Every structure is written in structure tokens, then in C-alpha cells.
Amino acid sequence: MPTRPPVVAAVVGVFVDGLLVGLLALAFLASLLAASPAWAQTAPELRPTRGPFITDAARAGDADATAVELNPGSLGLLPAGDLQLVGAAAGESTSLGRRGAGLYWGAPVFSGSALGLGLTWVAGAPEVGIDRHTTFRLAYALRLGRGAAIGAAWAHIWGGAFGGTNTFDLGLSLRLGRFVGIGATIEDVGTPTANGAPVSLPRLWNGELVLRPLGTDRLEIAAGAAHAGTESWHDVAARARLSVLLIRGLRLYGEGEAFPTAAGRAFQTGSGGYAGLGLALDFDHLGVLAGVYANQPGGMDWGTSVAARVHVSGERSPPLAAPAYVARVSFDRIHDDREFVALVERLRGLAVDPGCLGVLFKIEEVDLGLARIEELRGLMAFLRASGKKTFAYAPSPSTKSYYLATAADAVLLHPAGELAITGLAQNVTFYKGAMDRLGVHVDLVRIGAFKGAMEPYVMTEQSPDVRANKNLLLDDVFARLCAQIADDRSRAGHRMDAAEVKVLVDRGIFTPGEAQLVGLADGVVAEGDIEPLLAKLFHRANIRVRDPDPSPLAPGFWPGRRIAVVLVDGTITDGPNQELPFGLGSFAGSDTLASALEECRRDPTVGAVVLRVNSPGGSAFASDVLARGIVKLREAGKPVVVSMGDLAASGGYYISAPADVIYAEPSTVTGSIGIFGFKVDVGRLMNLLGVSVETYRRGTHADYQSPYRPWSEAELKLAMDQIRHLYELFVDTVATGRKSRGLTAGRVDELGRGQVWTGALAESFGLVDRMGGVSEAIDEAARAGRAPLGPDHLPQIVVLPRPPGGLLGLLSGLATEAAGEGAAATPQPVLTPAALATPEGRAAARLLAPLFIGGGSGYLARLPFDIDLR
């Protein structure tokens, strides 16, 4: 990997670049100022078209709904909907020109754009040229990337000298990484004319530079300047802000401004200005700001004023105080890895939530494999280590569900349920006898005695090598399951060893009372009685059980480096990502994934990539394309960390091997380094049906893919040669990627030949580096990519590929692919619900479906069998 500059040098570079850009921007604004004085309106605080004074007013940096008034460009950087109620008051009208109140609302509306509204009332101060008036504002902003936006605002004024007139503002907001922010506005672009006045109100050019020396919101320093378009360039208003985060949810801020008046320039005798100090308190979605100010409009005595803000935001802020609660988390709706990654983020957030005393996990109908169950067990242990009490409510758990539940501090069963801890089983259905009767023949070529994916179609029982490999995996997984359950129950106060657990598994089924008696459960309770039980355990009568807040948490820093999580979820195929009907699963298309990897390579904000692989493999060609994409990504200086899910085998391992670091869970199914190919011959079936086919060809092997005849001996040899070539590519890719772990091509071949390993076994061979899930992989990627961490101790994450646009697009994509090139040459399957009712039927459909919907080379790097442990 290329050498990167040190962190300090990178920070200094960004800091200096930001300062230069900011100074250039302010110089550019100054160059646009006119030289002839007319109406002294350089002071933003004395503009008669503005709304009330806004405390802690920011024209650059963080965005909230007051951007409708202050800088419509910042509106485009809003992370979520925001509502602001502002007010300002003073003892005397002359001490604060813009006394009054206002209501502002802003929110992202479409992709990359935002809308804002404002309704304000100003009491007026005739002594400084401000009349009583009401203003309605409408603003729109367009986001230009992650850290830039432009916007415009229109306002209509009622009452006062400018009553009945319209005015317009333009704004620009830039965030240059984590350290520098710039805002620039042109207020009153149309130079509105007051009723009966001989001259127009000049445009006001406004700029602000914000610095965050620590790269976070703990310390923020801002300086700005404003100038009216018809004033002398000497007549500039200067402004400054300082903000310090004292503790979580409590911030101290100060701000001030000096502006010229008819009696003198800024900072001179007769000039005007103000200075103030305030506090900001955050309570999750609610925030309150209040400041006290000393004001001198110019040529008058100093006076005092107060200004305050109350805001409600769709984004959560780390709260100063939060009510205690128990979070309720359900696993029954987690089907794909996109949802799984979101669940991981949610659980990591709960670990640092001060209001969360514990987590109640509802474990029912868990549709996850054993490796992802181990990931969740690890997260439950992480929550325990963070001081959160964990409870598993499993009304009627199976073996897998119970394995997950035991990671909690306590296991609770329903009174009418049962505990079915019956162990693990796997069935394989063989189709050769039925295919012989139908007149369907399959030609199979493969490298690796353990590459048994097509054995059910060419044999009537499993080959000895594949059977031995299956038993090896089951033994490893079952031994670990029993040992972990024994450790968990011992931790809960029920002394138990693995041998005792095996005895209990052989007994199998327990009533809730029996399960509690033998130490497999800690309590028997109906769901409606859980909350009173937890209140008693926590000694808090009013504690509530509720779902975690799904709203985004304010990161505390501006977007900088982030981590991309690229999902390889499902069978690897050529073409785009697709979803199968009847809940059969998904296809990870090489075209879609290659585009995602290229996006990561080109995006300078992506510091590192987590390749989340939950795939049994698939097309050998597509797997090779993606493996080369990973190599290209690393050559661009982007670290790649693999997180293996339930399956990362064959093609799934092919694309993982070139990564910097590979994480797997102990029960992840991986390895299966091998290639096979096959062709279905339905010639006899066609004859039985009375259908004949004539073929005309030029070239001996022109119809070698025809489904109406078997391969010849020469064609079998050609297919075998291609299989051998692809296998050598596979082995070389693994050996190159794992070279630092001491694996040679010869050693990879020994571990390959289609052999399947658990993650624990693969780690001992050097095929996997560390045990852990996607949470650990994200942490590793954040370290390698130098991505800053937010309040939840996670970096900013972008999940790729992005989800499809909708159901209609998904269905049309399936229809287009099914009608595409290659589909006509292959008999279409009949996927009926009855045929798919069993795990075996679903396994067969998942294996053959890529061939039926088109695409693919016909040579597969795929797991030998579907692991369906029940």
C-alpha cells in the first residue's frame, strides 16, 4: 500500500488550506464592494428587512432551521427535520434594534435538496431605523456533495417602511473536511426600496469562516465580516463567535459584533456593537439556548438584552440528562445483511446511551445462521461489558434461538412455551433417481473431491469425502455450541459443563418449569408481565420498556473520512443484484458490486472498506472480477477488511482472499476452494414427450451448450481444461492474498479441493485472520482508514450498493434479466410454492436459479451444499 502522510501533517494541511480558502473568499467579497457611501446599512443588526435577533447565529458550519434567515445555503446540509422558536427582548427599544420572535422550520425533502419556512415578527426600534414588521420566508437549498450546498430565500414583508415589498437572499455553505467551514451570503439581492424613500436598500455581502481545531464540536472558533454594496470598503462589520462543549449536552458560547455607523467605523468611537455570553442545553431531540447581551446601537448608551432559542430536531444530540429505560430489541425481522448492519449500529449506540439501563431481547423466529447468531452473542457480551443488563425473552426457543438467548444475563420463557434444545441436523435430498425416470441427464466436471454441490443430481448418496467433510463441520459447531451454552449458564449461576449440556440436548424438549429446574432458564413469565418484573429488578417503579430511538445521532463532527460497508449478500452472479421470489434469497451481481467498489476507490471521503460477505459463492467469472476489484481498491490506498457472515465459501472466499484482514465467526462456513461445471441434457425427456430437435452447426462444438444432447468425450476434456484453468486462478489469488500468512500455492491446494471449514478451523490454517463480526471489522477499518468516531464510538458509515429504487424497478429488473441473452437456451423452471415448501427444495432452487435467469459462464465456485442446520 502507498505511504500515507502522518496524521499531524494531514490535519495541518487541511487547516492551512481552509484558512487560505476562507481568506480568499472574504477578499473576493471585499472586492465586490462599491466605494460611494449612501445608506449606512453595513451592520446586519440594523437591517430593516431582517427578522428578530438570533442568539448563537451561525452562517457557516452546523446547519439548523435558522438557516432560512441566516444562510439559505446551510439549509442544504440539514441532517434531519428541524424546528426553531427564537425570541429576543430588551429593556429599551434602543438597546436592541431587532426585538421580536420567530418560527423557523427546515427539512430535507428530496434527494440532495431541502426546504425551509420562516415566520417572524419584529417590534421595531425607530431610533435605529427599524420599524415594526412581519416577514414570511421561503427557502430552498441544493446539496452539492457531502459538504457543500447552495440556496436561495424569498421573503415578503408586512408593515413598516418596507411593507408590501419582496426581498431575496442567496447563500453558499462549504465544509472543508472536519476542521474548516465557510459560509457566504448576499442579502437583499434585489435592493428593495422603502415606501417613499429616494434610494434602495443596498445588498449586504456577508461571509464567515469557522475553525474546529480539534476536528469536533468541542471547540469552535468563527470570524466573519459584512459589507453593504454601496458603502466604502473601510465600512466593514466584524463578527466573532466562540463555542466550547463543557460536558455532554452542555455548551458555553460567546459572540460579538462591531459595526460602523454614521458616527464612526467599527471599533472606533461612535461605532455600534454587541457582546454576549450564553449556554446551550441538549435533551436528545430537544434543545434550549439562552444568552445575555450588552448592546450599543451606535452613538447611544449601552443597554442589555436577552435572546433565546428552543429547537426540536429529528436528529438526536447527546443529552445532558435522559430518563432511564430498558430498550426492547427484536431479531425476528432481520432477513438480509443490510438490516443486520443497521442492527449492529443500533446495539452499539445503546452501549453508550446513558439512559439505557438494560436491553430486553425478544428472540422469536430468528432467521439467521449460526455465525450471525454468534455475532449477536458477541454484541450482547459487549453490552454487558458496557454496564447494561441484558435479558432474553424467548417464548418457545429452538436450539439456535436458545444458543442466542444464553448470551444474555437471564433467559426468560413463556409459561405456555417449550424449550426444544434438540441439537443440529441437516438433510440432503438426492434427485438422480427421479431424473433418470424423467430422462434428464447431468454431465458434471469438477476439481476437488470435496466439491459436492451437484452430487444430488448425479449420485444417489453422498460421496465419502463430502460426507466426512460435513461431519467434521457438524462436530466442530456442535462441540462449540455445547461449550458456550455451558459457560453462559455457569455465568448465570447454574454450574454446568459441556458434557451435561449434551445430555440435556439428547433429552431434547422441556416444559418451561422443567427448563428452569435443570438450569436452562432463569424465569417463566408472560410478555405482559415483563415490565413489572424489570421494574422490580432495577428497583425503579416507573421504568419503561421501549424500542430504541431510530433517529440519527449527531456525530459531533463534520463529514470527513468515513467507512464504506459493501454488502456481498447472496449467490454471486454476473450482472446486477437481484432478489428471488418466494423468499429464496438474493443474488450478488458482479456488475452492481464492481460499481460499488469503483465508487469506493474514487471517493476521497472513503478511508477504508468493509467487505461484508454472506455468500456461498457462485459464478467463477464474477468472483474473479470482484477479486480483481478488491486488489485495485487496495492499490489505490484503501484498506479492505472482510467480515464473513454465515457463509463466505468458494466464490465468497475467492473475493475475500485479497483483503488486508479477514474476520470470521467461529461457525462461519468458509473455504471450499474449488470449481465445478455441469450441463443438463433433456434429450431423452424430449423424446418421451414426442418432441424432436434438429440441429445444424458449423464447427464441431458449436452446440456444446445445447440442452438436447450430452457432452462428447472431447467436450468433457475441454470443460475439464477450463475448470483446471479457473481452479489455478483461484489458488493463485488465494496464495497471493494470503502470502503474508505463509500460504503458498501448494498449501492452498492442500486446503482447497473443495474442502469446507468453519471459521475457527480456517483461522488455524491462516485462511482467516481473526475471530469477530462486522462490528469488529468496522472498528478495524476505522483504525486503518483513520476515520473519526462519533458519540457511539462508530465512524460514519455508508452502506453499498444502495438499495433499489422500489418494487416496480426490482420486478422489471427481474423480467429484463430473465428475458436476456442466454435465457432462451435454457429450460425455464417451474417454481411452485409446494416445491419450495421444504428446505431441500429451496436449496435446490438456490443452486440452479442462477442458470435459469441467464448470465454466468457455466463454471461455478460455489459451496458444495447448503448448510441448513435445524
Boundary (domain end) residue, out of 317, 347, 365: 317
Q: Enter the DSSP assignment of 270.
A: T
815 is a domain residue:
no
Question: What is the per-residue pLDDT for 299?
Answer: 61
Listed range (512-526, 575-589, 675-689, 733-747) with the worst mean pLDDT? 575-589
519 shares its domain with 642 = no
168 is a domain residue:
yes
Say whether pLDDT at 527 is over 60: yes
226 shares its domain with 358 = no
Average of per-residue pLDDT across 545-552: 90
The 10s digit of each residue's pLDDT in 336-385 is 899 999 999 999 999 999 899 999 999 988 889 999 999 999 999 999 99
272 shares its domain with 298 = yes
660, burial (CB in 10 Å: exposed 0-12, middle 13-18, buried 19+): buried
Count other C-beta atoms under 10 Å from residue 690's C-beta.
6
584 shares its domain with 542 = no
Instruction: Spell out the residues 6+ positions from residue 592 whose beta carbon is closer than 8 angstroms to its own.
Output: 576, 577, 801
Question: What is the per-residue pLDDT for 583?
Answer: 59
Average of per-residue pLDDT across 449-453: 83
Question: What is the per-residue pLDDT for 766?
Answer: 95
Question: What is the per-residue pLDDT for 94?
Answer: 64
Listed range (411-425, 435-449, 468-482) with the worst mean pLDDT? 435-449
Residue 183, C-alpha cell as written in the block: 459560509
407 shares its domain with 513 = yes
Q: How far is CA 753 from the centre of its chain?
A: 37
Question: Residue 584 corresponds to which amino acid?
Answer: L
The 10s digit of each residue's pLDDT in 304-316 is 899 999 999 999 9
Count other C-beta atoms under 10 Å from residue 591's C-beta.
16
Question: What is the per-residue pLDDT for 579?
Answer: 79
Confidence of residue 498 (pLDDT cuts 50, 70, 90): very high
Cis check: omega of the bond before 126, within 30 degrees of 0: no
Question: What is the per-residue pLDDT for 37?
Answer: 34
Question: What is the per-residue pLDDT for 296?
Answer: 79
Question: What is the per-residue pLDDT for 334?
Answer: 84
613 shares its domain with 484 = no
C-beta separation of 172 from 188 below 8 A: no
503 shares its domain with 603 = no
Residue 676, C-alpha cell as written in the block: 465445478
Average of per-residue pLDDT across 682-688: 87
Q: In the chain, pLDDT over 70 holds for what percent of residues? A: 85
236 shares its domain with 355 = no
Question: What is the per-residue pLDDT for 300?
Answer: 66
Question: Residue 311 corresponds to which amino acid?
Answer: H
The 10s digit of each residue's pLDDT in 189-234 is 988 988 877 778 889 999 999 999 999 999 999 999 998 877 676 7
N-terminal to C-terminal alpha carbon distance within the chain: 44
Listed range (269-278, 468-477, 712-721, 772-781) with the worst mean pLDDT? 269-278
Confidence of residue 26 (pLDDT cuts 50, 70, 90): very low
305 shares its domain with 357 = no
Residue 488, C-alpha cell as written in the block: 453462559
Count other C-beta atoms under 10 Å from residue 334's C-beta.
17
Question: What SS3 state is found at 535?
Answer: helix
115 shares its domain with 54 = yes
Going by C-alpha positions, the residue among 39, 370, 385 that lies closest to residue 230 is 39
Average of per-residue pLDDT across 553-565: 90
843 is a domain residue:
no
431 is a domain residue:
no
Question: What is the per-residue pLDDT for 266?
Answer: 62
Question: What is the per-residue pLDDT for 34?
Answer: 34
Domain ranges, residue 664: 562-693+706-806+858-862
Ramachandran class of 600: left when φ > 0, alpha when ψ lies in -120 to 50, beta otherwise: alpha
Question: What is the per-residue pLDDT for 234?
Answer: 73
Cα angle at 321 between 317 and 323, to 5 degrees?
Answer: 105
679 is a domain residue:
yes
Question: Residue 653 corresponds to which amino acid?
Answer: Y
C-beta separation of 723 from 731 below 8 A: no
Give me the chain's average pLDDT, please.
85
676 shares its domain with 800 = yes
651 shares its domain with 768 = yes
Average of per-residue pLDDT across 841-860: 51
Boundary (domain end) residue, out of 512, 546, 580: 546
449 is a domain residue:
no
306 is a domain residue:
yes
Instruction: Spell out the residues 6+ positions from residue 443 whose beta carbon is closer than 8 angstroms to its own.
Output: 678, 679, 681, 710, 711, 716, 719
- CATH number of the domain bearing residue 523: 3.90.226.10
- CATH number of the domain bearing residue 69: 2.40.160.40
The 10s digit of each residue's pLDDT in 1-10 is 333 333 334 4
pTM to 2 decimals?
0.84
Number of independent structural domains in the chain: 3
C-beta separation of 207 from 237 below 8 A: no
C-beta separation of 108 from 142 below 8 A: no
Boundary (domain end) residue, out of 270, 295, 317: 317
Question: What SS3 state is found at 236?
Answer: coil
Handedness of CA 626, 631, 636, 637 (dihedral sign): positive
435 is a domain residue:
no
